Amino acid sequence: MTLLETSDLSDEEYDDSDRELQEAFSKGLLKPGLNIPYVVPDNFHEENKVINDEEALKEKYKTLHLNLPWIERLDIIHTPAPLAPELAAKLAEQEEMLAVGRTTSIVFNDFKRETMFTQQAQAAVIEGMARLKELGIPLRRPEDYYAEMVKTDEHMQRVRKSILRKQRGIEMGEKTKKLREQKKMAKQVQKEAAVRKIEDKRKMNEEIQKFRKGIRKDLDFLEPKGKGGNASASKKPQKLNKKREEKNKKFGFGGKKRGKKRNNNLDDVGGKKKGKSGGGGMIPGKLKKNAKLKAKLANKGAGAGGKMPRPGKSKRVQMKNKKR
């Protein structure tokens, strides 16, 4: 067994190992030279003799003793106070248990010792209070008495500032941690959005290639997808007014082109039709313009040769249609 191993042993293990070595040495199992037996010197008892010199102790006590008044010493020697009824009952119960053998003397002695301490303290307090009253020393603090604090107000202000500074540091740390987590979440959302955008673009290119090759016939993939995943889910039903409906009928959705762009005074849809005779049909915008021009020329007189100017193309087309 090395020195390091013996240093790690507990007291009980060390005693056991030491006892085993002693037994082995007494039986002659150990080789000579490894262990040196301890030899008790002849004058051991004389040098280590216990001396109880009472007279010398008393003289030393007299030199150390200070003859001070009791108020400076506050020492009391008194017999124990009467035992309280509950403690007396508990003590009697412990004696019965000790007599029957249900408990050991060690436990009983501990309880009895604590009881004696309590009695002794009670007796000392009672006698000490009586002596203080005889000396005229108050025992209770007055109601209007304010004791000085152990620590000054300046010191407590520094303590308060230190506590507040630590709290602010903790709050700033939590705030910084929360901001860092939010930045991480924002980066993650941006990354997911970029990946989703690339994926949507790839799918769009695939659908376009399918449409070019003739695999797909419709162009629904060009419509924005709603929450449900289809193009029509994102479109909200819009209520069209009558003017928009008339324009859609006239100009939209393909179909016949001839005569579609003719003005029919859409501003008065749903009301009375304006005309020269108060409802005899709508006058196109160009006809109104030509009528104004004709009235202007009539006021100024005819042009060269006394002839009216040639009507425009739209006017000539209308005149041809009327003849038919």
Tens of pLDDT, residue by residue over 102-114, are 666 655 677 778 8
Q: What is the pTM of this model?
A: 0.29
Boundary-marking domain end, from 231, 262, 290? 231
Query: Average of pLDDT values for 305-311?
Result: 67
Query: Average of pLDDT values for 141-165?
Result: 87
Confidence of residue 4 (pLDDT cuts 50, 70, 90): very low
Whether residue 218 lies inside any domain: the answer is: yes
Does the structure show a pLDDT above 80 at 81?
yes
Cβ 81 vs Cβ 122: under 8 Å = yes
**Domain count within the chain:** 3
Whether residue 288 lies inside any domain: the answer is: no
DSSP state of 237: P
Whether residue 303 lies inside any domain: the answer is: no
Whether residue 29 lies inside any domain: the answer is: yes
Does the structure show a pLDDT above 90 at 160?
yes
The encoded tokens of residue 179 equal 């901001």
Looking at this protein, which amino acid is placed at residue 322?
K
Q: Determine the pLDDT at residue 217.
A: 77
Mean pLDDT score of the chain, rounded to an integer? 75
Q: What is the C-alpha separation between 296 and 63, in angstroms, rounded?
A: 148
Residue carrying structure tokens 């620590």: 151
Is residue 128 left, alpha or beta, with left meaning phi > 0 and alpha meaning psi from -120 to 50?
alpha
Backbone Cα Rg of the chain = 60
Whether residue 122 lies inside any domain: the answer is: yes
Does the structure show a pLDDT above 90 at 170?
yes
Confidence of residue 1 (pLDDT cuts 50, 70, 90): very low
Q: Determine the pLDDT at residue 194.
A: 93
Does the structure show a pLDDT above 50 at 187?
yes
DSSP state of 142: -
Cβ 287 vs Cβ 315: under 8 Å = yes
Whether residue 85 lies inside any domain: the answer is: yes
Q: Determine the pLDDT at residue 199.
A: 92
The encoded tokens of residue 268 equal 């008065």
Which stretch of 85-89, 200-204, 273-277 has the lowest confidence by average pLDDT? 273-277
Does the structure show a pLDDT above 90 at 95?
no
Cβ 27 vs Cβ 35: under 8 Å = no
**Does one domain contain both 125 and 80?**
yes
Residues of the chain with pLDDT > 70, as a percent, come to 66
Q: What is the C-alpha separation between 262 and 318, in angstroms, rounded?
A: 11
Cβ 297 vs Cβ 308: under 8 Å = yes
Cα→Cα distances 103→4, 90, 112, 255, 306, Å: 44, 14, 13, 115, 150
Whether residue 133 lies inside any domain: the answer is: yes
Does the structure show a pLDDT above 70 at 304?
no
Does the structure show a pLDDT above 80 at 132?
yes
The encoded tokens of residue 6 equal 């013996």
Boundary-marking domain end, from 138, 170, 195? 138
DSSP state of 304: G
Query: Average of pLDDT values for 210-215?
Result: 83
Whether residue 289 lies inside any domain: the answer is: no
Identify the top-confidence range among 49-58, 124-133, 143-152, 291-300.
124-133
| 286 Cβ contact list (under 8 Å, min separation 6) | 263, 312, 314, 315
Query: Average of pLDDT values for 192-214?
Result: 89
Q: Determine the pLDDT at residue 86.
A: 81
Domain span at residue 225 reads 182-231
Query: Average of pLDDT values for 248-266?
Result: 65
Instruction: Give the number of other Cβ atoms within 10 Å of residue 265's Cβ.
Output: 16
Exposed, middle or buried: residue 128 (CB in 10 Å: 0-12, 13-18, 19+)?
A: middle
- The beta-carbon contacts of 9-18 under 8 Å, at least 24 apart in sequence, are none
